[in-house]
């Protein structure tokens, strides 16, 4: 699956929450597939965190500044712009293929917000309608 670091960063908590749910034994293949996605996403999140820490330091907004130091608004603005550009412009590839919504619906609870955040993982091929 291809997605941007921005998509992964926004949805990583929802992904780990989904993976932490109890799957019925009849759906062990689905649980395994989601676990594999989490395992391939974790190194990407860790590398992103390291990169963002380095960028923050270079922009002068990282931890370790004396409490009496005035805020570095220009550095913070530069950090935000560069961090967002990095995440939106960097495409990554994770293990597996999108999971059809029909395979996960009713198996484990998933909120509408989690579905929205995980749109790169959970594919809904049905026509848009509310019943």
Residue 129 domain flag: no
**pTM value?**
0.87
pLDDT tens per residue across span 5-47: 999 999 999 999 999 999 999 999 999 999 999 999 999 999 9
Residue 14 domain flag: yes
Burial of 15 (C-beta count, 10 Å sphere; 0-12/13-18/19+): buried
Cα(50)–Cα(115) distance, integer angstroms: 28
Cα(15)–Cα(20) distance, integer angstroms: 9
pLDDT tens per residue across span 58-98: 998 877 666 677 778 899 999 999 999 999 999 999 999 99
Decide: 130 and 37 in contact? Cβ < 8 Å. Answer: no
Residue 26 domain flag: yes
Residue 131 domain flag: no
**DSSP calls for 57-82:** HHHT-STT--TTSPP-HHHHHHHHHH
pLDDT at 109: 94
Tell me how crowded residue 12 is: count the other CB atoms within 10 A of its CB: 17
Cα(25)–Cα(41) distance, integer angstroms: 24
Structural domain boundaries, residue 24 = 2-123
pLDDT at 65: 63
Residue 128 domain flag: no
User: Of 128 and 103, which is predicted with more confidence?
Assistant: 103
Into how many domains does the chain fold? Answer: 1
């Amino acid at each position: 699956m291809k997605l941007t670091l921005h998509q992964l960063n926004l949805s990583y908590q929802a992904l780990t929450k989904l993976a932490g749910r109890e799957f019925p034994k009849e759906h062990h293949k689905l649980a395994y597939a989601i676990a594999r996605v989490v395992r391939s996403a974790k190194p990407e999140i860790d590398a992103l965190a390291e990169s963002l820490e380095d960028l923050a330091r270079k922009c002068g907004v990282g931890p370790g500044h004396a409490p009496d130091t005035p805020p570095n608004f220009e550095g913070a603005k530069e950090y935000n712009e560069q961090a967002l550009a990095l995440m939106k412009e960097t495409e990554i590839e994770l293990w597996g293929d999108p999971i059809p919504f029909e395979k996960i619906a009713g198996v484990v609870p998933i909120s509408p917000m989690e579905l929205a955040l995980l749109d790169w993982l959970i594919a809904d091929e049905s026509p848009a309608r509310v019943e």
